């Protein structure tokens, strides 16, 4: 196992380098750059741009140099903790992200916990009460959750949250706390608004996890070792929890590779509809405006979390399911 982990860590280096080349190339593919887009936007609004200042910025950040040179400067800066400069916000990338990163982590983490707390009991209950009225009812609710677009649910909850609870529509806090340093009143305001995006974002994930857990658990409950355990008189709860549930969690462990980057990226469409101060809308805006250092740093961070998440999920699967270890040893 140790040899496998070391080999995977070594493979991560060329993988991330290849991803960085692809990210840089994709960002460079559209014609022009941020400064040209900025000048065009000003002219469309009838304003004039300081071309001398723009040329100075282009020279300062190497936009008059060939693309390979700029790529090497970008990658070398990231290795030293310098993620570049955001031209749109006129600040270093690390300062632009700031509070948005922590708010995104807060929303995504609470959403994941909410999804697990709801999905696991319902999925287990549906599998152990197959084809009962409660199973049909929970299946219907799950299908409705999967079929309802998050942005429609966001609009509905925004309305009822304002009518029933007096919670201000949009944002992750009351307007007077926007841009203000963290305080106890601001924290209470964030907690007051937090439940809306958590329910909206978690609805689809909860419904999908319920369906997958139910299907996997039903498959395990029909296998011979479960029937043998029941024939020996093992308590039904213990017979369920010791092996079938454990074996049916493989899909949950394999999802870690996608859960880690989703903690940072957040639900972009829902964040835009709710005007949340998270990193999702900022990432989309940076891609639209060709703010390359901000967009590239985001994408590289997501790629790094994806690679780490896949490694963690592979190790956890081998520890959870002995069949994977046995198959791996047999192939080797």
CATH code, 315: 1.10.3720.10
Q: Domain check: are 310 and 202 in the same one?
A: yes
Domain boundary among 52, 82, 112: 82
> Residue 153 and residue 159: Cα distance in Å, rounded?
10
- The residue segments making up the domain with residue 209 are 99-331
311 pLDDT above the threshold of 70? yes
268 or 70, greater pLDDT: 70
- Which element (helix H / strand E) includes 45? none
In a domain, 22, yes or no: no
C-alpha torsion angle, residues 24, 28, 33, 37 (rounded to 10) = -110
18 pLDDT above the threshold of 90? yes
End-to-end CA distance of the chain: 12
Q: Domain check: are 291 and 321 in the same one?
A: yes
Give the highest mean pLDDT range of 37-41, 94-98, 213-217: 213-217
Long-range contacts of 81-87 (CB under 8 A, 24+ apart): 83/293, 83/297, 84/292, 84/293, 84/294, 84/296, 84/297, 85/61, 85/293, 86/286, 86/291, 86/293, 86/294, 87/34, 87/35, 87/38, 87/57, 87/61, 87/291, 87/293
At 325, is the pLDDT very low, low, confident or very high (cuts 50, 70, 90)? low
Q: Domain check: are 55 and 198 in the same one?
A: no
- Mean pLDDT for 77-93 is 81
**Main-chain dihedrals φ then ψ at residue 204, nearest 5 degrees:** -65, -45
Spatial CB neighbours of 199, under 8 Å, sequence gap ≥ 6: 114, 153, 157
- Residue tagged 């043998």 (tokens): 228
> Residue 302 and residue 282: Cα distance in Å, rounded?
14
Q: Domain check: are 68 and 205 in the same one?
A: no
In a domain, 163, yes or no: yes
263 or 81, greater pLDDT: 81
198 pLDDT above the threshold of 80? yes
In a domain, 17, yes or no: no
Mean pLDDT of the chain: 80
Q: Domain check: are 224 and 302 in the same one?
A: yes
Spatial CB neighbours of 48, under 8 Å, sequence gap ≥ 6: 42
> Residue 329 and residue 332: Cα distance in Å, rounded?
5
State how many domains the chain has: 2
Spatial CB neighbours of 247, under 8 Å, sequence gap ≥ 6: 216, 220, 321
CB of 83 within 8 A of CB of 283? no
What Å distances lie between residue 243 and 14, 97, 163, CA to CA? 38, 44, 47
At 331, is the pLDDT very low, low, confident or very high (cuts 50, 70, 90)? very low
CB of 154 within 8 A of CB of 162? no
In a domain, 92, yes or no: no
Burial of 278 (0-12, 13-18, 19+ CB in 10 A): buried
| Nearest C-alpha neighbor of 253 from the set 209, 294, 223, 222 | 209
In a domain, 7, yes or no: no
Q: Domain check: are 48 and 114 in the same one?
A: no
Q: Domain check: are 165 and 209 in the same one?
A: yes
CA 64, 65, 69 angle in degrees (round to 5)? Answer: 150
Q: Domain check: are 58 and 121 in the same one?
A: no
Q: Domain check: are 223 and 300 in the same one?
A: yes
In a domain, 114, yes or no: yes
> Residue 310 and residue 328: Cα distance in Å, rounded?
17
- Mean pLDDT for 224-237 is 83
CB of 314 within 8 A of CB of 57? no
| pLDDT value of residue 61 | 73
Burial of 222 (0-12, 13-18, 19+ CB in 10 A): exposed
Q: Domain check: are 44 and 156 in the same one?
A: no
Q: Domain check: are 151 and 67 in the same one?
A: no
In a domain, 14, yes or no: no
**Main-chain dihedrals φ then ψ at residue 136, nearest 5 degrees:** -60, -40
Q: Domain check: are 133 and 43 in the same one?
A: no
pLDDT tens by residue, 246-270: 778 877 777 777 777 776 665 777 7
Rounded to two decimals, the pTM is 0.76
In a domain, 299, yes or no: yes
């Amino acid at each position: 196992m140790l040899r496998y982990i070391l080999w995977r860590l070594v493979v991560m280096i060329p993988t991330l380098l290849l991803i960085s080349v692809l990210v840089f190339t994709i960002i460079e593919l559209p014609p022009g750059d941020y400064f040209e887009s900025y000048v065009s936007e000003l002219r469309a609004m009838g304003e004039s741009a300081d071309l001398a200042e723009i040329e100075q910025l282009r020279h300062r950040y190497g936009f008059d140099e060939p693309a390979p040179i700029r790529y090497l400067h970008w990658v070398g800066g990231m290795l030293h903790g310098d993620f570049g400069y955001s031209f749109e916000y006129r600040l270093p990338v690390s300062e632009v992200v700031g509070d948005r990163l922590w708010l995104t982590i807060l929303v995504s983490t609470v959403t994941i916990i909410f999804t697990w707390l709801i999905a696991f009991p319902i999925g287990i209950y549906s599998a152990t009460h197959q084809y009962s009225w409660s199973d049909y009812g929970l299946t219907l609710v799950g299908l409705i959750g999967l079929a309802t677009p998050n942005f429609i649910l966001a609009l509905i909850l925004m309305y009822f949250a304002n009518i029933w609870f007096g919670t201000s529509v949009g944002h992750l806090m009351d307007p007077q706390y926007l841009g203000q340093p963290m305080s106890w009143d601001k924290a209470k305001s964030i907690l007051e608004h937090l439940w809306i995006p958590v329910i909206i974002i978690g609805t689809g994930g909860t419904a999908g996890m319920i369906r997958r857990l139910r299907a996997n658990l039903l498959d395990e409950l029909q296998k011979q070792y479960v029937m043998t355990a029941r024939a020996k008189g093992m308590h039904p709860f213990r017979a369920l929890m010791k092996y079938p549930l454990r074996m049916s969690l493989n899909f949950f462990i394999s999802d870690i590779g996608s859960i880690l980057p989703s903690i940072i990226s957040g639900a972009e469409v829902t964040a835009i509809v709710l005007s949340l101060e998270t990193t999702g809308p900022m990432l989309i805006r940076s891609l639209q405006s060709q703010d390359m250092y901000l967009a590239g740093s985001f994408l590289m961070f997501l790629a790094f979390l994806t690679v780490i998440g896949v490694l963690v999920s592979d190790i956890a699967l081998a520890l959870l399911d002995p069949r994977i270890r046995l198959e791996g040893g047999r192939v080797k």
